[in-house]
Chains A and B, each alone.
Chain A
Amino acid sequence: MGQPVLLRHVREPDQGEIEAYERRGGYAALRRAVREMTPEQVTDLVDRAQLRGRGGAGFPTGRKWKFVPKDAPVKYLVVNADEGEPGTFKDRTLLEGDPHLLVEGIALAAYANGVRTAYVYMRREFSEARRRLERAIAQAYERGYLGRKILGTDFSLDVYVHPGAGAYIAGEETALLESLEGRRAMPRLKPPYFPAVMGLYEKPTVLNNVETLCCVPWIVREGPEWWLEQGPPQLYSVSGHVQRPQVVEAPLGTPARELIARAGGVRGGRRVKAFYPGGTSSRPLTAQHLDVPLRHEELAKLGSMLGSAAVIVMDETTDMVKVIARVCEFYRDESCGKCTPCREGTVWVTQILDRILHGRGRWEDLDLLASLARNMTGTCFCPLGESVPPSLRAGLEDFREEFEAYIRAAREPVHMPVRLHLGAPAPGG
């Protein structure tokens, strides 16, 4: 394994300064692209590098760019820096450690797509990342990498950073655009609102994740063949019961066993019981899958997915019923409330799991949960609600005995204990 690519300079303390970034080869790709290449040639490089989106869906980036109408007078680039998938922290690492890499990636993507205005929609909690990125953007303006007539060419670009308001759903691309336009973050109907044709302010919009764009300068600088030789490089956020949770850069398709080893192994020398390969929206896998290559195709075969490549490791002491209940609570709290199955299904599922955990489970709850998982599959408006069934299914199929143990130990009958009051209590009770 050679030198890391995406993470190569993130630990250099001065990497956020433009001089250091330039000294280490930064902005050379942009310089070359705007002076020597056509926009189509840049897109072509990205296409040949087989770059796939790193936000979760894994859509080929080059193809995405080609959907954007070439002749549209107004187009936007929107960077999804609303990293919110549980267990995912790679974008933050890039933003804080190498902000100019993103700025250069933005400029390259804007050049390739004929964009003059770019927005970075950033998770509000990333205050340090925002500070560093804004500083990098200011420096790039000063050096002529952003602004009017970039590097003396006819290419101009303005970049704005917009902090979100704390909703997980705003990471969904169309909900992000709604939020960016000042509305409540709820996903839009596709069609007609495919961002590439009807995105921000109903204009064609290129929407990419931070990590995706950070790959672009390397691809342009070193070429797609070199890029593929490197693995291609993929960031895995490894967390949970490992000794040293961290972002691991490894070739795409590295199995979990190796990633866990690079994160110092399982804490206390214990064994792995389960792990999420791609954030909590993916189906959790068991110890027998530790050697499966973590790549889109292999994971899809297992009913799981690479998602945001967030590997969450759970050791043998883990209570899987509690894990799944907690994951479902997350989606319950983060559902935007737009569609019925997500809004109502998530809360119902958590109510049942909560009951089971508190000694009031019933045998029929297992079938009910399976039925609800079915009813939430293929019926939700966007992927958020559909993120609940994978965990539920894994729980009921792979860890059923843990559920049964709770139900067997249940002592209290089901009754209706508390009224769940929302908002202010009614006057007079």
Chain B
Amino acid sequence: MATVTLTIDGQTVTVPKGTTVYHAARQLGIEIPIFCYHDRMPPLGACRMCFVQVEKMPRLQTSCTLEAQEGMVVWTESPEVVEARRAILEFLLINHPLDCPICDKGGECPLQDNTFRYGPGASRFVEPKRHFPKAVRLSPVLTLDRERCILCWRCTRFGEVVAGDHALKGHDRGYRTHIDTPPVTLERPSKFIGNTIAICPVGALTSGVYRFRARPWDNRPTPSVCTHCGVGCAIWVDARGGEVVRVRAREKPELNDIWLCDAGFFGYDYTNHPDRLTTPFVRRHGVLREATWDEALELVARALQAASPAVGLLGGERLTMEEAYLLGRLFRSLGSNHLDARVDAAFTPPLPAYVWGAGPFHALDEAGVLVLVGCDLSEDYPVLWLRAKRALGRGAVGVAVAPKRVEVSPYLRCTVVPRYGTEADVLYAAARLAAEGKGSVPEGLDSVDVASSCLRAGVREEAVGELAESLGGRGPVVFLVGRLSLDGPEPERVLAAVQTLRAVCGGELWLLHGKGNAVGAALAGLAPDALPGLSPLQDPMARSRVREVWGFDPPADPGLPAPAMLEAAAAGRLRVLYVAGADPARDSPDRSLWQRARDGLEFLVVTDLFWTETARQADVVLPALSSFERSGTVANLEARPQRIAPSRMGPPGARSDLEIVQMVADRLGRPMEYASVEAVWEEIRRLVPGLQLDSPYPLPRPQPQVDVRVPPPGAGDAGLVVVPAAPLFRNGEMARRCRGLPELAGQPTVGVHPQDAAGLGLADGAEAEAQLEGVAARVRVRVTEDVAPGHVLVPVGFPELPRGLWVGGRRRLSLRLQGLQAPATLGSQGTSDGPSGERAHLEDPR
């Protein structure tokens, strides 16, 4: 690499060509004050704080924009520089309110720090200061103080360069300039606005949640991991007086870099919430009543003992790997392999080949083509989208095939929106065209007819042609297969089609499904058909390792995956269900199945933080700890184990799932004694060779192969086909107990294509009655081209919309919409008939 050598303050330094003087100085340990420059964005040169003097150059230079040249002689503390810095700080401070004592930023404020070090001692300003209306609420989570703003443009540029959501813009000009949301209202709120608070060098942008809650020096920071979505962003958790007051990004370039999404940034308040469960409950005479831990655990142990091996376990996303591991070990000691973390999935492909998860995320940094298959990346894994966007920014090409137009489609080369469930047809057609482009169509693929595939999918052949053309000759391909397809009606065929496409043009296969520790739970052994480390159940090596550690032989027959477990429960074949940190009553993808399962179960035990729908139906409810309150290891989608650490004490009376499973094991006479959580982790590592903290564990993937499957016979759809899609901001049990997030989620609307809306006489924002298999609900309509004609986009995860509107397991649902004249409040009208209907909520037993 070409280098240049220059002299800064008398010291010589050699840096790669293209390095700025600012960075060259930093390499020497020379600090140059900055405001507008931020090393994740290109230099701007607006604040004029970073002046240096360069010999043979006529005026002072901004070091953040100045490229180091061979032989340059730079001075960072010359009298001219010192004077200019003072001048700039004086300019910045004349209209700054200097309200540091009541400013959230006070104590960690670059303006304070730079003024302290470089600023003038006194002000010469005797004029009236500029005033703006204070504390403007730009969003439920973002408050702007324009008087404090020094207009460094970091926040607006973040929206342009990093997030691409253009959430904040400069308004007006000159001394009237201020930051505000754009004049055109954005269709969706930013998912990354928290980052603008983090990079704001003053107290102008403050968090609607954290505002006035703490002084930074009173906060106790704990390094931990965000467990919301599965990206596993590294975070700092700031606690003060036993409360989590703030979450910040912890720099980790290979993972989240320095960013967080807003669900992570603002989604912590639930842990402090008064609704938290603080004592066990047991059902007596049909009613859940407070109980002691002893009573509750005794009941659980007895039920498990009596019913084994007809016992099953659901959950894992919100467990640590250690907890998942011990639960798996306990259930296997009871003779059961019925263990599954995929609570919210209808399609639970056999492990290990199709285990959820991704290759190391940094593969995107070298990728040439990103293929989003049913993957609404920014909604499902927002921070992963930032990395993908960076890849697109440096020249990679993105394409999408999904039953809804993915949110990031403006950044993609082409977006194909086929009929629901026909993504495979598009992919097969693309594979055929790509193969033809390469000059040889492999055996099996010749049966694919491009024209009829496109016709079936309802897409233009040219669009598929563009898709096929995008795949070749651009470098490594990554297929990101997401929930929209994996939870759709034909996931096997989609995977077969992706496999076919991989056989033609190569590429990695990522299955982007699973929140929190879902992948880590499977890796730790919470899987019906795999031992810890995703080893096949029958693998003799793995079995002998397990036998050696556990002292018993795990059952050899595959257990039931989540949906089959519920079927078995409904049929009376599974008698006890242990639900750990999950809410199948709400999240299980078949609305009728859960209810039948519950009716068939003898005993249901739930560990959770809140009264979830499942908890209300349980026989024993055990209060658990949140991820802010316990230690352990969680693994993200790339199977990278990372440590979480407690930043606050849990509510008195609640216990970690680790303690709970150990107490249950004691009572079952199968004690699992460990000196520490660390000791459990070491035991997992003995069973999973190669597993290391902070290193992605290689997930097994099937070899690409041509696998053309004929489409199932099409059934006529009566009405509009439901495309269920879970947005990032929704109203789950945790999110709705976080300040700000429910407002970001807003009121759910169902998306209808303009053609259908016109046919039904529905205007944007109109109210309509949706009817589907005996469920009727009032919904608000959003007219959008995000879905193909004949489809309706139904958001998932809103209690306002009855689950019946979208959950049909593997079935395609279709509903009828009818406009309503009279304005009415939005929400479920809750008519129900038969077992599929909504069960009335139980009274809160407290």
Contact = CB atoms under 8 A, between A and B. Distances in A.
B177 interface: yes
Contacts of B169: 184
A332 B174 contact: yes
A344 B127 CA distance: 12
Interface string A318-348: 0000000000000011111111110111111
Contact of B44 (A189, A341, A426): A189
A418 B130 contact: no
A423 B133 contact: yes
B46 A338 contact: yes
B92 A344 contact: yes
B133 A189 contact: no
Contacts of B43: 189
Contacts of A423: 132-133, 146, 178
A348 B173 contact: no
A417 interface: yes
A425 B128 CA distance: 16
A379 B60 contact: yes
B745 interface: no
A113 to B, nearest CB: 27
Contacts of B90: 375
B302 interface: no
Given A184-B170, A352-B127, A417-B128, A344 B133 contact: no
B130 A420 contact: yes
Nearest to A367: B124
B632 interface: no
A378 interface: yes
A interface secondary structure, majority: loop
Interface in A230-249: none
Contacts of B44: 189
Contact of A335 (B87, B134, B146, B175): B175
Interface string B169-195: 110111111100000000000000000
Nearest to A379: B48
Interface string B114-158: 000000000011111111111000000000001000110100000
Contacts of A191: 67
B585 to A, nearest CB: 44
A332 B46 contact: no
A72 interface: no
A351 B124 CA distance: 13
Contact of B127 (A337, A355, A421, A422): A355
B127 A348 contact: yes
Interface in A367-391: 368, 371, 375, 378-381
B133 A424 contact: yes
Contacts of B46: 338-340, 381
B836 interface: no
Contacts of B173: 167, 169, 333-337
Interface string B534-572: 000000000000000000000000000000000000000
Nearest to A360: B126
Nearest to A378: B59
Contact of B128 (A189, A338, A341, A416): A416
A405 interface: no
A189 B60 CA distance: 15
Interface string B63-104: 001010000000000000000100110111011000000000
Interface residues of B toward A: which range? 35 or more
A416 B125 CA distance: 11
B131 A421 contact: yes
A378 B87 CA distance: 12
B111 to A, nearest CB: 12
Given A335-B175, A351-B127, A425 B47 contact: no
Contacts of A302: none
A424 B134 CA distance: 11
Interface in A387-429: 414, 416-427
A417 B126 CA distance: 11
A341 B59 CA distance: 15
Among A169, A344, A420, find the residue whose CB has the most chain B CB atoms closer than 10 A. A344
B798 interface: no
B91 A375 contact: yes
Contacts of A371: 124
A422 B48 contact: no
Nearest to A186: B170
Contacts of A332: 174-175
Given A189-B65, A340-B150, A343-B151, A420 B91 contact: no
Contacts of B150: 340
Given A351-B127, A423-B132, A346 B174 contact: yes
B45 interface: yes
Contacts of A379: 48, 51, 60, 84, 87-88
Given A340-B48, A343-B151, A343-B177, A422 B132 contact: yes
Contacts of A368: 124
Given A368-B124, A422-B131, A422-B132, A347 B48 contact: no
Contact of A346 (B88, B151, B170, B175): B175
B174 A336 contact: yes
Given A340-B47, A379-B88, A426 B133 contact: yes
Which one of A338, A340, A345, A422 has the greatest number of beta carbons of chain B within 10 Å?
A340
B175 A340 contact: no
A341 B46 CA distance: 9
B80 to A, nearest CB: 9
Contacts of A421: 131-132
A340 B87 CA distance: 10
Contacts of B170: 184, 186, 337
B683 to A, nearest CB: 56
B95 A344 contact: yes
B177 A337 contact: yes
Report which residue of A336, A348, A419 has the largest number of chain B beta carbons within 10 angstroms of its beta carbon. Answer: A348
28 contacts: A169-B173, A189-B44, A191-B67, A332-B174, A335-B173, A337-B151, A337-B176, A337-B177, A340-B48, A345-B91, A347-B130, A348-B127, A351-B128, A375-B84, A375-B91, A378-B59, A379-B48, A379-B51, A416-B126, A417-B128, A419-B128, A419-B131, A420-B128, A422-B130, A422-B132, A423-B146, A424-B133, A426-B134
Given A336-B173, A422-B130, 19 more contacts: A186-B170, A333-B174, A337-B174, A337-B175, A339-B45, A339-B46, A340-B92, A340-B151, A343-B91, A348-B91, A375-B84, A375-B90, A378-B60, A379-B51, A379-B60, A381-B45, A422-B178, A426-B133, A426-B134
Interface of B: 43-49, 51, 58-60, 65, 67, 84, 87-88, 90-92, 94-95, 124-134, 146, 150-151, 153, 169-170, 172-178
